[in-house]
Amino acid sequence: MMVNVIVLVKQVLQTADLKVDRTTKGIMTQGIPRVISETDKNAIEEAVRIKEKHGGKITAISMGPPEAKEALREALAMGADEACLLTDPQFDGSDSHATANVLAAAITKILDYDLVLCGAYSEDAFAFQVGPRIAEICNLPQLTYAAKLNFQGDKLIVERDLEDERQTVESKLPCLVTVGREINEPRLPTLMAIMAASKKPMKTWNAADLSLTADEIGFNGSLIEVLRSAVSVGERKRVMLQGQVKEIAPKLAKELVQEGVLKAS
């Protein structure tokens, strides 16, 4: 059984390198490298493993600025067969709802797929929204937080990692699955592989190509309006306990209880 997979890829700023401007309290984005969001890498890796096992075609889709081509090229280097960049100045300012509209339009246009894979969340927004919203728009069964995928006949068995429990669910195809970081260790393409991937087909679609109207996308299509962004600065208490372990351990426990970190028994 061949499985054609659409995998959704988001390019994000490398969050570890983000810095806050002390005066404006804004995030400094200058010179911060752009990378594929971690769980999306897991989604690509899972797509490639499915292809290695069952065969089929992988299409990677990303919505973003023209630079997001880099992310798609990396997805191609990891093993995707085709890529599709959804870019249009009109897409600027899209929240997860508007983003889901754009991606769903592209998925609908591609038509030929058995499975849509994406990361459970993106590393910059951590909203956990886009996957489920697309599933609703495309009327697909959704299986979120996947930690393991298995095909049985024409059914997909998914183990969901829900922190304090693990749930096994099944669905018929086509369906949409969001994956977490535990599902696999994504492969890392070499520079040569990324260069070689520039030979693979890459399409670019704008709002018109996707027949999207202005009220579905960008700021107009968004349900969320960002009023203000601020940086929360956690001040450390800088309490130092000194002395023999036997003496300071009860003191430390007492402090922690006072702070509400531990419960007194």
Partner 1 sequence: MPPLTYLFMYAIMSGFAAAFVYGFYRRLRVYFRGSALPRFDHIQDRVVRAIVNAFAQRKVVKKTYPGIMHLLIYSGIIVLFIGTTLVMTDNDFWQPLFHHQFLVGNFYLAFEFFLDAFGLVAIAGLIIALIRRVVSRPSNLPTSRDDIFIFSILLIILPTGYLLEGIRLAVDKPPWAPWSFIGYRVSLFLIGQGLVGPGIVTFYQGLWWFHALLAFIGVASIPYTKLFHLFTSPLNALFANRRPKGQLSTPFDLRELLASGSFDVKVGASAIGDFSWQQRLSFDSCTQCGRCTNACPATAAGTLLSPMHLILKLRNVMLAQSHADGGSLVLPDIVNPEELWACTTCRACVHECPVLIDHIDSIVDMRRHLVGEGKLDRGKRDLLNNLNNVSNPYGLPQADRMKWAEGLNLKTAKEQGDFEVLYWVGCSGSYDPRNQNVSRAMVKILRAANISFAVLGTEEKCNCEVARRFGEEGRFQQSAIELIELFKKYNVKTVLTQCPHCYNTFKNEYPEFGADFNVIHHSQFIEQLIKTGKLKLKPQSKGLVTFHDPCYLARYNSIIESPRNVISSLGIMGLREMPRSRENSFCCGAGGANFWYKVEKKKRVDAIRLEEAQQTGANIIATACPFCTSMLEDASVSAGTKDSVTVRDISELVADQIEAS
Q: Which two tokens stand for residue 1?
A: 């059984």
For partner 1, the closer of residues 78 and 156 by Cβ is 78
- Spatial separation of the C-alpha atoms in residues 92 and 19, rounded to whole Å: 23
Tokens 């429990």 — which residue?
165
How many of the chain's residues bind partner 1 (CB under 8 A)? 21
CB neighbour list of residue 159: distance below 8 Å, 6 or more residues apart: 146, 147, 148, 149, 166, 167, 168
Contacts to partner 1 from residues 35-64, by CB under 8 A:
35
Least CB distance from residue 192 to partner 1, whole Å? 4
- Spatial separation of the C-alpha atoms in residues 209 and 48, rounded to whole Å: 28
CA quadruple 67, 69, 72, 77: dihedral positive or negative? negative
Pairing of strands 82-86, 58-63: parallel
- Spatial separation of the C-alpha atoms in residues 207 and 91, rounded to whole Å: 8
- Spatial separation of the C-alpha atoms in residues 203 and 24, rounded to whole Å: 39
Q: Segment contacting partner 1 (CB under 8 A): 12-20, 160-168, 215-223, 247-255?
A: 12-20
Contacts to partner 1 from residues 164-193, by CB under 8 A:
185-193
Binding flags for partner 1, 65-94, as an x/- string (CB under 8 A): -------------x----------------
Q: Segment contacting partner 1 (CB under 8 A): 15-23, 96-104, 214-222, 228-236?
A: 15-23
For partner 1, the closer of residues 198 and 220 by Cβ is 198
Q: Segment contacting partner 1 (CB under 8 A): 9-17, 130-138, 143-151, 250-258?
A: 9-17
Rg (CA), the chain: 22
- Spatial separation of the C-alpha atoms in residues 95 and 105, rounded to whole Å: 16
| List 33, 153, 234, 250, residue binding partner 1 (CB under 8 A) | 33
29 in contact with partner 1 (CB under 8 A) = no
Q: Segment contacting partner 1 (CB under 8 A): 10-18, 131-139, 152-160, 165-173?
A: 10-18
Pairing of strands 11-13, 82-86: unpaired
Residues of this chain that interact with partner 1 (CB under 8 A) are 14, 16-17, 19, 31-33, 35, 78, 185-193, 195-196, 199
